[in-house]
Amino acid sequence: MKIVLDGMGGDNAPQAVISGAVEALKEFKDIILYITGAEDKITEELSKYDYDKDRIKVINTTEVIGTNEHPVMALRRKKDSSLAVALNLVKNKECDAIISAGSTGAFLAGCTLIVGRIKGIDRPALGPIMPGKNGPFMVIDSGANVDCKPEYLVQFGKMGKVYCETILKQPNPKVGLINIGAEEEKGDELTKAAYKLLKESEPNFSGNVEPRDVTLGDVPVLVCDGFVGNTVLKMYEGVASTLFSVIGNEIKSTKRGLLGGLLLKPSFGNIKKKFNYKEYGGAPFLGVDGICVKAHGSSDAKAFKSAIRQTYIIKQNDTIEKIKKEIEEFQG
Amino acid sequence: MKIVLDGMGGDNAPQAVISGAVEALKEFKDIILYITGAEDKITEELSKYDYDKDRIKVINTTEVIGTNEHPVMALRRKKDSSLAVALNLVKNKECDAIISAGSTGAFLAGCTLIVGRIKGIDRPALGPIMPGKNGPFMVIDSGANVDCKPEYLVQFGKMGKVYCETILKQPNPKVGLINIGAEEEKGDELTKAAYKLLKESEPNFSGNVEPRDVTLGDVPVLVCDGFVGNTVLKMYEGVASTLFSVIGNEIKSTKRGLLGGLLLKPSFGNIKKKFNYKEYGGAPFLGVDGICVKAHGSSDAKAFKSAIRQTYIIKQNDTIEKIKKEIEEFQG
């Protein structure tokens, strides 16, 4: 299996990309990694490691797309960017998959413009898997598409379901609609219309899920507009960070607290591990006719390795083919 | 000052309403409370307490509006409901304010249809005050209005600013727009258009606030569509509940954890107190030409007392008059 890594994407590129790549080679014996980017920098970084030189190929590119550039314009202008060159390797079937921690917008635009969409999918979507109280869950779309139409949400549900089945090994997962009320008639125009469509066309649809219940993880596939999904994910991150910080300050404020905190150090360690997104790797753009995995912009080596592991599992499970089949059957 | 309480609204009515009312009489010597609802039940409940009989007036009503009824239809049909009668007392200036923990939809509809809107306000909005890491903040609108137009968000900002100044005593508070990116061009159609309007017309506008940063409390007035605001509030509630539950389970899983947990009991108590919405009372429907305070549906006696305290403060500070002035000046 051949995976191309955008060597210049993300806050810690290329160091973290390369360190994660070298680690992944040890775990997965049948992968070959391509890395696009400034050859001199990448080669210099690689020289720090001992690895099988036949399994990492560096492809020199001269341009980089920044996170603040207009996605489509940047892609069109920077043909020799690390991202565009990597995407073309997937398009031309030279590589089976791409991973990038760079600009989400440019990556998404490139997936659609260069690699192409699956027939029957209007908008590829991001569906990261998150840790929940009773189990993992995915929020799809979590930020790739705003101002969605109701039918997009049905497509998100179909793709999420297949992804959840193949990656989380949860047979027949429930599909829920994130909404600000439990009853069918609650919500805004989008969720009311999406509710009706999902009820008609998704056998696994289990109704509305209020944001209060999202993190329980009782409904593994949660569909919504990307603005809402992004809000859900970022609130999860923000509230957790605020609470841990408040707990930390409270603990430090008394001697009794300090002793209690010391005793609970392993417990907090377990919780932080359980709720660490880095363990879950990246999130694929589902709906693209290829394996395109978005890694978090702040990914470190461990996160890149996890993203490679996840990409590997997506490929091993024929996930994209299964999504295509599901969408084909849905469209009849 | 005369405040009317919807005696039948909320999960714990009328017991919690009455218990909270009796407690409030002790704290605020210059208030008179009206309670609408089934006179026999209310009188029976009141007979359990020792209080100044001249300061609580019971007004018998024969109907109750349920939370699952169509708001406008229910209000029109049930003229003798505890809510409609209470709203009319405010409309006719017999009372200065109303508090209800009943159906949000019916209460909002009644505020608009019976009490009336402030000139220049298209949609009254809910703006509850929440505890944040560095200070309290309000999210307006937090669920009264979905599918908002950009100009509503500007009005929310003006009202929230005045409310924050008068209630939280924060002079010149920053007004932020909840959005899924920090940059001006980020977001969906609504937030992009609202950004432009806010930039032009709100001197306190400080730009986008990502959901990750909402709970920091660095920006005290946060405007958004009601679907987003409700998602933010319910995620806050849900994530906090999930985390505390996970921490609790982790603590209980080892002897060391149990001991640490015991030592940290006062610390967790402080945190729970700090993050307890009951301390903050209800949330007013801002934009109504009167003081209309929505208490949480699950309010207990303490929450009702807090809502009465907040209503009192709103009145003492001429909040509604100040909002009117702000909107008048804005419209020129």
B279 touching A (Cβ < 8 Å):
no
pLDDT of chain B along its 332 residues, tens only? 999 999 999 999 999 999 999 999 999 999 999 999 999 999 999 999 999 999 999 999 999 999 888 999 999 999 999 999 999 999 999 999 999 999 999 999 999 999 999 999 999 999 999 999 999 999 999 999 999 999 999 999 999 999 999 988 999 999 999 999 999 989 999 999 999 999 999 999 999 999 999 999 999 999 999 999 999 999 999 999 999 999 999 999 999 999 999 999 999 888 888 776 655 678 999 999 999 999 988 899 999 999 999 999 999 999 999 999 999 999 87
Give residue limits of the domains in chain A. 2-121+287-320, 129-274
CATH fold for domain A2-121+287-320 = Isopropylmalate Dehydrogenase (3.40.718)
Residue A276 above 80 pLDDT? no
Q: Is A32 helix (H, G, I), strand (E, B) or coil?
A: strand
User: Predicted ipTM?
Assistant: 0.92
CATH fold for domain B129-274 = Isopropylmalate Dehydrogenase (3.40.718)
C-alpha distance from B222 to closest chain A C-alpha (Å): 14
> Cβ contact (<8 Å) for B242 and A212?
no
Report the distance separating Cα A233 and Cα A211, nearest Å.
Answer: 11
Evaluate whether A192 touches A109 at the Cβ level (below 8 Å).
Answer: no
C-alpha distance from B260 to closest chain A C-alpha (Å): 4
A2-121+287-320 against A129-274: fold identical:
yes
Residue of A nearest to B213 (CA): A238
* pLDDT value at residue B280: 65
pLDDT in tens, A11-32: 999 999 999 999 999 999 999 9
> Cβ contact (<8 Å) for B68 and A183?
yes
A236 touching B (Cβ < 8 Å):
yes
B246 touching A (Cβ < 8 Å):
yes
* pLDDT value at residue A280: 65
**Of the candidates B271, B250, B272, B270, the residue with the CA atom closest to the CA atom of residue B261:** B250
A298 touching B (Cβ < 8 Å):
no
Neighboring chain A residues of B260 at a CB cutoff of 8 Å: 259-264, 267
Total length of chain A: 332
Sign of the dihedral through C-alpha A68, A72, A78, A84: positive
B136 touching A (Cβ < 8 Å):
no
| DSSP β-bridge partners for residue A117 | A288
> Cβ contact (<8 Å) for A211 and B230?
yes
Q: Which residue is listed with tokens 């940047």?
A: A74
Report the distance separating Cα A162 and Cα A317, nearest Å.
Answer: 11
Residue A27 CB partners (closer than 8 Å, separation 6+):
A305, A309
CATH fold for domain B2-121+287-320+327-331 = Isopropylmalate Dehydrogenase (3.40.718)
**Of the candidates B152, B97, B95, the residue with the CA atom closest to the CA atom of residue B120:** B152
> Cβ contact (<8 Å) for B228 and A230?
no
The closest CB to that of A263, out of B231, B259, B267, belongs to B259
* pLDDT value at residue A272: 83
B258 touching A (Cβ < 8 Å):
no
Evaluate whether B228 touches B142 at the Cβ level (below 8 Å).
Answer: no
> Cβ contact (<8 Å) for A239 and B241?
no
Evaluate whether A121 touches A87 at the Cβ level (below 8 Å).
Answer: no
Average pLDDT over residues A153-159: 98
A132 touching B (Cβ < 8 Å):
yes
